[in-house]
Structure 1
């Protein structure tokens, strides 16, 4: 047998890579992890964790207004310090970065803070020119924001840079209509900016339940967000401290910040995968089989770089399955059915299972139950903002195949509901469950 430096060499210390490294080391493998940025990856450093903290911070804008109706003496104008929120978020990111680092090292893994590229089926080259060998290589490098090609695109930022702004801009144009665009639209709006959401098509949040998308659009417009549909960039011109954005089908927009949220691209460029015969798909993602193995026998890939489902919990599950299969003697595959997801918009959206349209196409006969209501807190706060819960069932078996929510705390509620959908429970079993009153979640067992 050849003598390798490591049993496993992981490129990328994000959620998937870190889990794979830790578990493989626990199984007795000699492991190294190369990371060119910071340990923790997109989710911890520049994604879901800091973004969710910004969502919490932004939500106080509404909470403080609502507090008056609940008897609190809150001034009409509350001072807000963006640097305080930003720096406290960075402090928490630093804490989790240290925790991720400790997780790998405490398991016996070695961390190499350099870029690593593949230079053969079992060989890697570090940024300083050093070469390493490994019996198995795992690609877990994630993805990066896509930037539209147009004159002046260099003037825009992505979600990566949004966390590092010196101040909250007064006028923001966000390109895109997916979850990142809608989440940052809500953040900037609550912090006082006028937000324009610009999209190439007529719809937002493609893939989510249509009724929820329509409800979010309605509420967002009621709050003052501006939408420009069927709009493509023509140019971005800088003039002083502001930018003029020209686009198809609409008048130019003058803003203080342009942010791109137009999808994410796997980080495979320049990684040297061709040197080992690793094939990529037309999006640049690593092609893998059900066991996360690429077209090169010794190279595997997990997480966003495979472009299957770009969610942190999926990357973690894939990393665990890879390590258990290859190093633990416990063959494991990830089940991608009924994966819950959420949009931390204002208000948030959460769903699991099939949309009504997908269910009708796949099952033919479906039954749909819904509840359109104003949450109790919104009633007392005089906030005219309604929640919508929707349940999609197989018309033949009564099995619940999809649950879709928009309203306060929807992501918290969907996690428990996802267990029921995954377990194949029926509408009758939901109905047999006693409601917990007064809660919003009780609507799930009272749907008509």
Structure 2
């Protein structure tokens, strides 16, 4: 009989923890998972999945308007936020059930409570029950960061955005990353007057500069306001319930809702890491090696709590690699090079590989190819928005180092194109591929 209750005890049932637990169990391990909130984690419960559903809902605002130019006589359309909100939350419930069922079907025991590491191989649940495990996996993810300015408790984060009782008439969003820009587009399309503020002078740091500039131009044209070089000073509630936000370098602004989208921080507090000597970095992210092992041999960590690449598919691959390495006898690591990403803004962005600035820094001379065009649908709809596709290639060889696009369905297109970039194909390989006409994606093989 084993000296431990389980071969693996996973703390956190998000995308990484669920995959790791399921695969470890398939390798014959006795596995348990503790989750203090809901099975599914940030992505499924309060992140990318419900957010994408809101993005779909927001697109109808412009689609219904554009439809008139395609011959559709549509009576005045009315938007019911509560109906969309409740339908989205209902689907979150469905997914929560499916993730729970997946663990149960794989004979993973689930504890719906908080777990703390209280000894080298010991976990104590909030009920007081103690469990032991040969291996412990930490997959507790991250949470929205909230500034420490006076009145910060009056604001919300992306977590609460899915539960609002009404769309605010005036909304201020703090931040300029993908979450800020996505919710700016969503709430703008739902009828809110959106102001986005950021402490620096640029948005979407890490994305190609030309695409960032294009999104800013389009967003301003749509009616979203931007205030750059603006640090929070404080939030005050007025007698009528509205909020007055003060900031550096700009006049105060009165709004009905403040949303913080100023980054995310790893969930490590109160886990008992200090009890066993698990090391963290200066941002409180758990330090791990290429196999996701922490400074303690039998304790591992995957996903956002390690702050390597905060993307759901990456956490899933880390969980898979961990389980195959530790329980499957198949040592595996995750390749973090050339990871595609998307921003579900209005219009969305898709990107893979190096930006122009990164490529010039690493390779010196590069070749840039672009296609700046108005999608056919926008022409008929009398919409002036232009899409931009950009390809960065190594000089001499033509190897594609990066591919970046902003325009309708860019995230759907970039997934397939990312395979070519990952494979090291060249501009000539793209040129040799016959275009699918008429499509937006044909611009990938027509760039000059």
TM-score (normalised: structure 1): 0.99
In the alignment, which residue of structure 1 is the partner of 2:45?
45
CA displacement, residues 12-64 of structure 1 (integer Å, 9 cap, x when unaligned): 00000000000000000000000000000000000000000000001100000
Query: 1:188, 1:195 within 8 Å by CA — same for their partners in 2?
Result: yes
Uncovered stretches (5+) of structure 1, i.e. residues with no partner: none
Give the secondary structure class of the aligned counterpart of 1:252: strand
CA displacement, residues 262-309 of structure 1 (integer Å, 9 cap, x when unaligned): 000000011101111100001110000000000000100000000000
Query: 1:363, 1:394 within 8 Å by CA — same for their partners in 2?
Result: yes
| Match status 1:182 vs 2:181 | yes
Q: CA deviation at 1:78?
A: 1.2
In the alignment, which residue of structure 1 is the partner of 2:201?
202
**Aligned equivalents of 1:126 and 1:46: distance in 2?**
24
Q: CA deviation at 1:2?
A: 6.4
**Aligned equivalents of 2:441 and 2:211: distance in 1?**
17
Matching of residues 270-281 of structure 1 within 5 Å = 270-281=270-281
In the alignment, which residue of structure 2 is the partner of 1:151?
150
**Aligned equivalents of 1:269 and 1:395: distance in 2?**
48
**Aligned equivalents of 1:300 and 1:263: distance in 2?**
24
Q: CA deviation at 1:225?
A: 0.3
In the alignment, which residue of structure 2 is the partner of 1:424?
424
Matching of residues 49-448 of structure 1 within 5 Å = 49-75=49-75, 77-239=76-238, 240-448=240-448
**Aligned equivalents of 2:114 and 2:9: distance in 1?**
12
**Aligned equivalents of 2:263 and 2:42: distance in 1?**
14
Q: CA deviation at 1:445?
A: 0.3
**Aligned equivalents of 2:31 and 2:179: distance in 1?**
34
**Aligned equivalents of 1:18 and 1:175: distance in 2?**
32
**Aligned equivalents of 1:319 and 1:406: distance in 2?**
31
Query: 1:268, 1:284 within 8 Å by CA — same for their partners in 2?
Result: yes
Query: 1:173, 1:198 within 8 Å by CA — same for their partners in 2?
Result: yes
**Aligned equivalents of 2:2 and 2:118: distance in 1?**
17
Give the secondary structure class of the aligned counterpart of 1:305: helix
**Aligned equivalents of 2:147 and 2:396: distance in 1?**
46
Give the secondary structure class of the aligned counterpart of 2:101: helix
Give the secondary structure class of the aligned counterpart of 2:137: strand
Question: Which ranges of 4 or more aligned residues in structure 1 deviate by more than 2 Å?
Answer: none
CA displacement, residues 428-448 of structure 1 (integer Å, 9 cap, x when unaligned): 000000000000000000000
In the alignment, which residue of structure 2 is the partner of 1:16?
16
TM-score (normalised: structure 2): 0.99
Query: 1:370, 1:390 within 8 Å by CA — same for their partners in 2?
Result: yes
CA-based RMSD of the aligned residues comes to 0.7
Q: CA deviation at 1:337?
A: 0.4
Query: 1:365, 1:396 within 8 Å by CA — same for their partners in 2?
Result: no
Tell me which moved more, 119-128 or 17-26.
Answer: 119-128
